[in-house]
Structure 1
Amino acid sequence: MNIPQVTHRRVDVDGVQVFYRETGPKDAPTLLLLHGFPSASHQYRRLMDALGDRYHLIAPDYPGFGHSDAPLPSTLGGPFTYTFERLADVMEGFCRALGLGRFVAYLFDFGAPVGFRLAARHPEWIEGLVIQNGNAYTTGLSPMAQAMTALRPGVKGAEDSVLNILTLEVTRSQYLTGAANPEHIAPEGWTLDQHFLDLPGRAQIQIDLALNYHSNVALYPQWQAWLRAHRPPALILWGRHDPFFLEAGARAYLDDVPGAELHLLDTGHFALEECLPVIAPLIADFVERIHARGHASQQGTSHPALATAMP
């Protein structure tokens, strides 16, 4: 395998230095990799190695995550309000700063509410969606997830509930719970996640975002309507033993995007950690079909359906 060089840069977005990883030829199809909680762009390192010889991959860290700036939260008197709407604002500015006009978006965990906000604002940017344990349906919320999404600012005990999940034990469990072969999952992922969670000021950032998560659930109907209206090419990859986002949430996408392709994987939430050898070829095939269909359309010829639902 020809492993590509990954570059590590920062770009200013409205006064916030956003760190990002980039690899692959810039004239190739672009994938924007949007990370989840409690991780950052480092969760995509192995995927970038696997696909960067063929595709242009970009993975940013949100404000308050990874190596990006972490401005003091407004709840502590600082200048930055940590909501999912604000994260989407910064990611929108990030795309503009890098001149990203058309891309396949990889939506994982927090990447789903960030990515769907981008899609709703700029449907012309979205060439396709890779949705990996990124929920947009109430049927996909486990009892544990429902309890977390019910938290609100000012509710007694809400902040303590969030603090209880910012521990190494819980971070590790997010990687290992549901894994078919836990020994295949390297400890570096959760170790680095915990390093960033433990940095000064980061706990309040995660509290603010957790207490804002209900805003995502309120937007589910709008995102579902967007999917029905735009019918983007969609590849759905789901760790079926995810304790947070249930298999029902994966299958629900097929009602709104009947042409979507669904693959249920025998793993948990961080499916890439265990199933990269399965996931990487599926993404490559998906991207190739998108571009083959686009080429066929330009030539005025027909092309087979992009994807079909898998049981």
Structure 2
Amino acid sequence: MPVDIRVPSLGESVVEATIGRWLKHEGDTVNQGEALVELETDKVNMEVGADQSGVLQKIVKREGDTVAVGEVLGVIAESSQAPAAQAGDGQKIPSEQLQSEPVTSERQKVSTGQLPPTTRASDGQRPPSPLARRIASEYNVDLSQVKGTSPHGRVTKDDVIGYMEQHVQNTAPSQRVAQPDKASAPPPVQTTTTSADQVIVTPLAAPRGREERIRLSRRRQTIAQRLVEAQHSAAMLTTFNEIDMSAVMEVRSRRRDTFKERHNVSLGFMSFFTKAVVGALKAFPRLNAEIQGNEMVLKRYYDIGIAVGAEEGL
């Protein structure tokens, strides 16, 4: 008998959630208690598990949809019901074919290496946790190489992070990946030093686009909203830090006349400040972003404005 997958109670004062992502696809075999879908709320993210073993027959709500408590997310059918539903038009499939075809297909996938690492677990071993799979996907980690330390050998977030730390320590610096987040990483550059104070930076590849949009989870949206509200109600403080500018002043005094002759503009300190800011934004690209609605917009260009204090104001 088919069983509905419903949104469980989300906690006090939480009445709706957003579907973060489905961990299973239609037609996948699921075990009782296995996580099927991730839900995002204003307070916490949670997983909805399967109430019975069977086949995920239908997905009713898609990723990004807003759902209420008790709403149907999908349908789980018993394993014996799935082939009959797929046959359709009254066609009967021989029982020998039903038993042999899936096994043959799976054997072919194993022999050709088409199965993902997460599905190569033994019957007694639980699949990696959703968070572990997400981290492994973002950092290109082969989960088949990660040993689970939890009961039943399940790979968790800590196992993946520990494997990454050990792998980085045992890898030569030239083989390490500088930024695992390919979407937000700045384009690689080639630096050529020609003198003590002149550095030429040559981009090796043009950026794929000027902006990238990333959907915010419900929790991130709430955090962003609370921070904006805090700007209107909390005291805002300014931090002052002293730095040694003697090296910059030495370069400026040495290059001042040449710069003036070449560009017909005086070489001030703002150029050095701007270069430092751009370098910091390249190192930390998420600081060069803004919130638009329910999306975070990562910018691959740099629009710098510097205010100057005066008696009349900025």
| Greater Rg over alpha carbons, structure | 2
Task: Report which structure shows greater RCO (CA 8 Å, sep ≥6).
Answer: 1
TM range, smaller chain: under 0.3
